[in-house]
């Protein structure tokens, strides 16, 4: 399996605190069946983890995983919060944040927790016009999408992908996130799954989420889901 959203890079955001914890997270991920992880530290006004930092820290962590014989391949990325259109435009134009994987054809974006960013449709359209697929992190956790799904459905119609979190599907973020995440699967609107793991307590658990997905959508849909996620890192 591949995890496309994980805060495993040490000491850069609210995820792993140090190299030791990162290695422990990787070991848990490996035991869960994960073989590839896209590292996605926060890129927002609080944690401005630049692409240069991502690549440098990724190399350091990959060397440590190789030294410990943990069979995980790491790939670059960021979780980019839509603080404002200007914030996103400036940093996207300057290449400040990392797109997902080395092919750079996808970017993981995140809504603000306090409310929906009305500039999102324009940002999504411009990314798609540039040949970049935006993937929206954990929409099932945002109250404004649960209360009024039409905004999310409109983004999906434009071509946005969603990323549902495994923890939501097993109830770790409450019954509302669980129900909405399952609804996205039932209606064919869960395009990717990920762990959004932050530490050894909020750990990688993609296997549990995949089991829920397969229970709802079936084996064929799961195979399509995994192939879609694999395509993100397999692009040269």
Please give the average per-residue pLDDT across 204-228, as a whole number: 98
CA angle 29, 112, 190 (to 5 degrees): 50
pLDDT at 64: 99
Residue 206's domain spans which residues? 2-234
Tokens at 114, concatenated: 């306090």
pLDDT at 228: 97
User: What is the rounded distance in angstroms from the CA atom of residue 193 to the CA atom of residue 4?
Assistant: 8
How many of the other CB atoms lie within 10 Å of CB of 221? 15
User: What is the rounded distance in angstroms from the CA atom of residue 70 to the CA atom of residue 228?
Assistant: 25
Please give the average per-residue pLDDT across 187-199, as a whole number: 98
Tokens at 198, concatenated: 């932050």
Please state the pTM of the whole predicted model: 0.96
Reported as a single tens digit per residue, the pLDDT across 125-167 is: 999 999 999 999 999 999 999 999 999 999 999 999 999 999 9
Reported as a single tens digit per residue, the pLDDT across 71-81 is: 999 999 999 99
Reported as a single tens digit per residue, the pLDDT across 40-54 is: 999 999 999 999 999
Q: How far is CA 234 from the centre of its chain?
A: 16
Q: Give the number of domains in the chain.
A: 1
Measuring CA to CA, how many Å separate 159 from each of 9, 32, 96, 107, 127?
Answer: 29, 31, 24, 13, 10
Helix, strand, or coil here: 20?
A: helix
User: What is the rounded distance in angstroms from the CA atom of residue 186 to the CA atom of residue 206?
Assistant: 18
Q: What is the band of 84 on the pLDDT scale with cuts at 50, 70, 90?
A: confident
Q: What is the band of 61 on the pLDDT scale with cuts at 50, 70, 90?
A: very high
pLDDT at 80: 98
Percent residues over pLDDT 70 in the chain: 99
What does 180-203 look like in DSSP terms, one character per residue?
HHHHHHHTT---EEE--B-SSSS-
pLDDT at 85: 82
pLDDT at 75: 98
Please give the average per-residue pLDDT across 87-95, as a whole number: 90
pLDDT at 234: 84
Q: Is residue 236's pLDDT more than 60?
A: no
Kindly give the pairing relationship between strand 106-110 and strand 133-137.
Answer: parallel
Which CATH number fits the domain that encloses residue 178? Answer: 3.20.20.140
Reported as a single tens digit per residue, the pLDDT across 8-26 is: 999 999 999 999 999 999 9
Nearest Cα neighbor of 38 from 66, 84, 72, 14 is 72
């Amino acid at each position: 399996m591949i995890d496309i959203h994980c805060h495993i890079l040490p000491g850069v955001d609210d995820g792993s605190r140090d190299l030791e914890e990162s290695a422990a997270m990787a070991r848990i991920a490996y035991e869960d069946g994960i073989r590839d992880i896209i590292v996605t530290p926060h890129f927002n006004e609080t944690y401005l983890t630049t692409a240069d930092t991502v690549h440098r820290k990724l190399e350091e962590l990959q060397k440590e995983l190789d030294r410990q014989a943990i069979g995980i391949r790491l790939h670059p990325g960021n979780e980019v919060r839509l603080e404002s259109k200007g914030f996103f435009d400036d940093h996207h134009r300057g290449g400040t944040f990392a797109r997902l994987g080395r092919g750079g054809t996808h970017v993981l974006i995140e809504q603000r927790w306090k409310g929906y960013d009305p500039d999102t449709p324009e940002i999504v359209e411009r990314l798609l016009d540039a040949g970049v697929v935006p993937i929206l992190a954990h929409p099932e956790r945002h109250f404004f999408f649960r209360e009024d799904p039409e905004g999310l459905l409109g983004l999906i119609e434009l071509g946005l992908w969603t990323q549902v979190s495994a923890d939501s599907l097993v109830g770790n973020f409450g019954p509302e996130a669980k129900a909405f995440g399952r609804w996205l699967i039932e209606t064919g609107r869960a395009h990717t799954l990920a762990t959004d793991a932050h530490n050894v307590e909020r750990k990688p658990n993609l296997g549990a989420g995949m089991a829920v997905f397969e229970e709802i959508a079936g084996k064929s849909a799961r195979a399509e889901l995994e192939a879609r996620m694999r395509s993100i890192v397999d692009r040269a």
